[in-house]
Structure 1
Amino acid sequence: MPIATPLLDLLLVPDWLVPVEPAGVVLEGHALGIRDGQIAWLGPRERAPQAREVRTLPDCLLTPGLINAHGHAAMTLFRGLADDLPLMTWLQEHIWPAEGRWVTEAFVADGTDLAIAEQLKGGITCFADMYFYPREACDRVHRSGIRAQIAVPLLDFPIPGARTPDEALHLAIELFGELRHHPRITIALGPHAPYTVSDENLEKIRVIADQLDAPLHMHIHETASEVEQALKDNGERPLARLARLGLLGPNLQAVHMTQISDEDLALLVESNTSVVHCPESNLKLASGFCPVERLWQAGVNVAVGTDGAASNNDLDLLGETRTAALLAKAVAGSATALDAHRALRMATLNGARALALEAITGSLEVGKAADLTVFDLSGLAQQPVHDPVSQLIYATGRDCVKDVWVAGQQLVEDRRLSQMDEAALAANARAWGARIGGRNE
């Protein structure tokens, strides 16, 4: 007798389904089944197995959950604090002093909660974070149900939560061991930038990263002045220095990379290093333009990130991806650069690859986690729908996010957070704003 197929927990039946892998495919008349938190079935809806629940999604597009490959989650509480300033002025005269005064474990917990809520409502199912008190960030991720890579920040000078680089490294090793089997959290080492970490400490970080097989997350070539200062100080471009120290490779996530010479490109290609593009932060801080199309054509994996809300000022990855697609065309001087399908891939599967999560998430494939986002394309601004992916990238905002699942758990239902209290989050953020702005003093 034939073996009965186990019931699906949930069958989703959208008008359009974009698996991302294979590339460039839009499926109509298809459904996706979830069982035990994973994608258990995908195929024509008339062949779908039985399910405990069937949900029809008219006028909706089902995609993999978006992946925000770089940010500083708790900095949501500094949103709008110091705008319209160049990077180093912004950092040295405003952000670093504010962090010195305000950043505590409570600040990180509350700011991370706010960031998680904003990201979930924007269709993001996984994010990469680099900020102080990473244990608090891990706790908030664990509670919320979202997926994340938490990078432990490593700098040569004292930071909130770590008095020395060795103390920060010890914390990273500790967290890595504690969470290595967590289903939704991975730990990375986060050397802040080439100009804030010495060769000696970078070598320590490389040894630990190699021993743990841990990801590395680092701001690199963010501005032309960073590269120029490095050449002046030691006659070496930062990327070449990192190559000399053995840090380049598939575990490195090189964030920003607005300055790329032919030699830099060759190093990225040879080492299989991923680049994380943060176009809106780079535009706002006038940091430069990452040549995305050039990298893509050379075979470099390019993901997309929002950066922190203090420099963006939002965590809207769909909007970020639209900006990335438009900017790529202008930088390349070609209207065909970074088309809509590749832009969506950059915001999903490429992000998963950068974070070493491509076996788990980033595309709609049987066996992967059910990390899913549903976009409602029924609005006037989305009509008519000739190509749902083009409509998503060029004509749709994050307000069209209808439903979000992470590992099969629904975290956004009909545009509302199902596990978090939005009113309480907003009230708490306003209270922090009053304290930081001096309105309580």
Structure 2
Amino acid sequence: MHDQSSSPWLGRFLSIWLGQVCSLIGSQLVQFAIIWNLTLRTGSATTLAFASLMAMLPAVLLSPFIGTWVDRMNRQVIMLVADACSMLVTIGLALLFWQGSDAIWQIYVALLLRSVCERFHSTAMGASTVLLVPKTHLARVQGMNQALYGGMNIVAAPLGAWLVATFPLQAVLSIDVITALLAILPLLFVRIPQPQRDANRTVTFWQDMREGFAYVIGWRGLLISLIMVSVINLVITPVGSLLPLLVTKIFGGGASELGWMEAALSIGIILGGVLLSVWGGFKRRIVTALFGLVLLGAFTLFLGIMPNSLIWGAIVMNGLVGLSLPIVNGSFGAMIQGVIAPELQGRVFSLVGSFATAMAPIGLLLAGPIADAFGLRIWYILGGVVTVAMGVLGFGLRSVMTMESHQTQESAPTINEPSLSQAPAEAM
């Protein structure tokens, strides 16, 4: 593994990362503008849920392929191409709005294509982080990552509400083009290290993909954790996609209130990220992650039962939901990131993402019609209860609680093992 301890890693990492922060602002503005446009045009929970589904499908269906490509190709080139393609999609969508030919299905296609680009980029960036950042700083970078990204969301949500109320939608979309260029620029000048590969080892694309599956399946604690997360995402993913309707139909708010709701979430993410960076979590990171899950479920439940007249109470509760997110994601991500070989990062993390979100599309497909028929609150209540239950269950499962020690004490599949042909293709 590359030794970053003696390299000027911070300047190199920040130059790339800050470019991505700029791109994030533009992406958040586009996302806010599109979702608010769909909310005003249709007022349908089914429409919003399907829009979220379009953005999520690549993570579920394409992640195993994308992760394998990332591990086999130059990750810096992948990030450049992904950013450029996402920018072109935004330009095309802006032209459609300008011409007045913006059909709902065209918006769905644009969301799908942008999600594919984002999946390539995030997988390549995540797989490169372990080669850009010393292992001893991974947890702190995870915390700072989420805190600073939350800060960008604070800017994007209220700004997005003001922009969509002031300018045509195509003008808002054009901002994303400028911020994408700011993300591309440092990638042209800063070299991203690539993982060391055995030049004498020749394997096919499918062998590499099966190796990633074998690695995840062989880590029992990780596999059980991903099943638990899939159950959580089945019921809690609709919470985010239905938020605009919760604001408008339950609490009687508008674009401004939705902007503050999103801003509160981001403030919570900042505070949670800073807390994780300073505190570092419990000695065992899995304990920190499960503790965060219980908090996440409890705050989601309280948001679902908040009285209609307490819009500011709902905003505060959404902020507490944000506070718990870095505690869960940062701790879990740093834990598995620190033990996976760099040359396997793309495949393993893409599979983790695919496993974790596998049930989310089903939840979105069910959420829209059921929420339209029986009310929005049911998903917040159900999501909160299930999330708390999964967190408590995790504390009682030995294979989950010993994930870190299990992976370091027992051998796991490695890239040098010649037993790929024996891995069961039907195991997944």
TM-score relative to the length of structure 2: 0.25
Question: Which is richer in helix?
Answer: 2
- Structure with greater contact order relative to length (CA < 8 Å, sep ≥ 6): 2
